Structure 1
Amino acid sequence: MNTKQRYFSDRSIIVMLALLSAFPPLSTDLYLPALPHVVKTLQSNQTLVNLSLSLFLISFALGILVWGPVSEKYGRKPILLIGLTLYTLGSAGCALSGNVTMLIIARVVQGFGGGAAEAVVTAMVKDLYSGRKRESVLAIVMAMVVVAPVVAPVAGAIILKVMSWYAIFWVLTGVGVLSLCLSLLLDETLETRYGGSLTHSLARLGVVLKNPGFAVPLILFSLVPLPLLAFIGASAYVYIQGFEMSEQMYSYYFGLNALGSLVGPLLYIKLSRRISSAHIISGCLALLTVSGICIEATGDSSPVMFALPMLTATVAISMMRPPTANLLLSQQDKDTGSAASLINFMALFMGSVGMFLISFETQSELIPSLGLMQLTVGIVCGSLWLLLRERSFIRQPA
């Protein structure tokens, strides 16, 4: 660790980073069991209500894109506090919404504020750690974050048994307040701030993108989350309406799938001691392709036949996150905030595209479409990775 924290130990700072990184899964997965209820309560339809998911992610991604480079000028902590304030206000706005338009607007505010936490956390990991330690911390944080998507749908289903879906957003408001209070205790991790203007600070995004060693693999790896986020957006309709499950049973199936995101980073830590990161990435993309074929062939026959290949795909995608994030961060000696923003922005933006696309499918087309997305992404990204991984312009992590 390069900078010590006064109020956080080496272990507790990792827990804090995990809490801040959990904003996307908490803000989506806690809400998922309520989607059919929101459609009825607000007298809306599936496409419009799903916009509260996809536009949240787009807003979150735009927030990441803005807050990351701005944190290079003003510091990590001030930007984090501003973002968490917006997130908390947006969450309260969702809890008070009386129609789908107000809900979507409040979700956009919530997402834009939450983007600050995601951008700052990734930049803080680069500030605090280096080399193999940084890769390990990224894997640990990603594994800890998975507690949120495992617990959130179950908690959301329990809340729906005793209260309305509005209570879910009051819970998220409380999470925002807690994170804000804890963030006040953080010490600034950025040692040297960018001295240029705010406009020049934002323009550093373009400077980073001019580096082909960063930009080319960024585009490639950003496609990978697309089928997983599409599944998150469609899961409630697949399980509750398609397979006619209760909200409680759905939460168990979703929680099982979310466990795959926990297994992935932990499995990577073990495998990376014997197998190179490049070969692990290749294997994960092959697994994603096979999972897509299985879902296309038998996914609509039963919940188990859909859940098992979906679980395999989730493990593969989550196992790729630590090595791909570390590879991308290793391409930049400076402009860490801008690099971190672009990494998280592109992943969430492409994921939200997957959510947006799947929202137009009819009930009977959801499962085949999810399988086709996995198959396409696996083949395209796998082929491009084999072509690019040994190119000289891509710097290998130390």
Structure 2
Amino acid sequence: MTAARTLYVATWGSPLNWKPVVYRCSGGERTGFSSIVCAKADRYVVYALDSAVTAAAKRSEVDGRILEAARGSGLEVAEEGDRVAVRPAEGREWREALRRYMKAVAEAMGYEVEVVATGSRGLYGGYLYEAKPDHILAELVLGLWRQVEALGEPGGTLEIMLDVTHGVNFMPTISLYAARLLAGAALLRGYDSVKISVWNATPQEWSYEALFSDSVDHLQFLWKPNIQAVRALYYGAPLHYAALCRKVEEPDYRSEPKPICGEGPCRVTYGEQPDYRYLYERLLAWAGCRDLPGTLSQYKQWHVVKKLNPTAKLLVQHELEDIKRSLDKRRLGGCTTLAELKGMTSSRAHEPCSKDNRDFVAHAGLLDSNTKICRHGNDYTMQIDERTYKCLEK
């Protein structure tokens, strides 16, 4: 049995005004700048915004070790009166400076972290950040997915431990949303279930507590997918997913903030806006597209079938068992359609889903006249007619 894996994801705003406090953790008291000192995980990830490298705070609120981390990461530190501000050094890439900064802060507490960075929105330190929601979501979802992959071969339970103690603005909400999206991809990749927990440290008392916990063990779609391979999962047609997912490339999206300075505040732009939903659908299509089954018995055991919603899973299992029973009654030597195997009339052979796709959905995509069964050694292969792809367009 594969052991559970835990991915810790912390939302960090600007560390400039962080002070070390004593956190009341489940295992006792721990001192640190951040509640990360309470966490136990296989991999530690910090989600940070670009605006953290143009932040400012009162000098009296800034710990010297945070300033050392900022300077050591290549940021410029400016002290004006009672204010301290950080800025990226001219000519340096902002993202790389941000990652070094967050890593240095974590190292000051004895932790090694990976950093997922996204754009920001709003006016911070004289810089107007203009990232659109799709910029932010695309980088966050795919950035966190790379961290899931880095945990190694999937299996058992994946726990995403989301620490929102230090998150600012939209960070906690968008991180929880991203975690829910990633659950589907993780299930398709091979995890049995995904547990999502949200943690926070109470102000002044600094008691580290779980606020929310949920477990996901089947695919849940938040919108009707557009990519055909994923639409096949939406309709509970796993053989169509297996055929179509091979055509989808692994998604990738990365951006670099581009400051434009002139009159007024400097604008920080992010280039062409991506479609995060399209990128996420590509991730779903790609995540489960490995170790694809080739025979009837393999389809019956395929983990993707087990991760369909409960109704779709029962329909698929019923159809596959029905095919197996029909084959047990007849010694098949070559190939035949399901209609011929069951002694049915092929009345719809030339027009699958001409009006609607009710039959397609009801039979897990295995239309009698458009599904071919062939003997393969001691097993059987199944082939679907490409004309049934139109059923996914309904």
Query: TM-score range, shorter-chain basis?
Result: under 0.3
Q: Going by fraction, where is strand more abundant, 1 or 2?
A: 2
- Under a length normalisation based on structure 2, what TM-score does the superposition of the two structures give? 0.26
Tell me which structure has the larger Cα radius of gyration: 2
- Under a length normalisation based on structure 1, what TM-score does the superposition of the two structures give? 0.26
